[in-house]
Amino acid sequence: MAKAVMKSARKPAAKPASKAAAKPAAKAAAKPAAKTASKAAAGKTAAKAKARQAKKPALTISMLKPSVNNMTVRVFARAAGLDHAETDAWGHTRSPEYMARNPAHLTPMIEDKGLPRGVLWESCAIMQYLSNKHGLEKFYPKAPAKRAMIDSAMFYLIGTLYPYVARATYPALGFPQYAGEVGHSDAHPDRKSEAQKAAVAAIAEPLEVFHSFFRDGKPFIGGKTPSIADIRLAATLEFLAVIDYALPKWASEYMAAMEKKLGKAYAGPAGDVRGYIAHVRSQAKA
């Protein structure tokens, strides 16, 4: 009996589960956790990708900072609160890539998926398109009569006032003159100077038309608030500083009112134009 007890006492206790047996169990338990972590990581990556896509502006503006034509669209995009990105096209407008999209090699140019050819240039056309697309009646009213006045003011500016401004200011700005202009020819410097002076003198008449006809006692062409025609006019008048043009009192007050009304939306792009003009004038004095 004692031997039986001793044998029983000496019998080793049951061995713990082997490591080999424990590993499959651990792996089996780890797989669901790994899959969950993997899915969570993939979800975060997808969320970040979507966030990047959401942040990417739908509208891209190719522009040149010293230009008032470009300033027009830059002011408008800011004032309208449009989500956009600007690309400085300085030195690239004649590149094969740019010309493939824009054979006119002009700025400003917008890129927008809704356009038949994907791009659009000409500042007034750009503002009209974006106003129509986003329902910005504040800047471009839908009422036919009101819209007609805005269109008329812009077309009159492009066809009459701006050519005078270009002839008067481009020589001082260092911008190339249009083909056929005296400034573009091999004419004697005296003739070029006379043509420039004639253009300066001609500015007063269309400028008065904007004051007496298009504004007609209103703060802006658009009435109480600036329209796209106002943005185009104010930007154009910025160039006249390069020749020390004596603006009539109403025009100076009008430009100040535009900047006050639009705030940083106007001041930022205008600052680029003014900075370029200041640089040109400093070079002329040197």
pTM above 0.95, yes or no: no
Task: Tell me which amino acid residue 63 is.
Answer: M
**Mean pLDDT across the chain:** 87
Q: Lowest mean pLDDT of 48-57, 144-153, 190-199, 269-278, name the range.
A: 48-57
CB contact set of 110 (below 8 Å; sequence gap of 6+): 59, 60, 61, 62, 73, 119, 120, 121, 126, 129, 130
Residue 108 has pLDDT above 50, yes or no: yes
Helix (H) or strand (E) holding 119: strand 119-121
Residue 41, pLDDT score: 62
Greatest mean pLDDT among 15-24, 35-44, 271-280:
271-280
Residue 285, pLDDT score: 83
Q: Lowest mean pLDDT of 64-73, 142-151, 169-178, 276-285, name the range.
A: 169-178
The full length of the chain comes to: 286
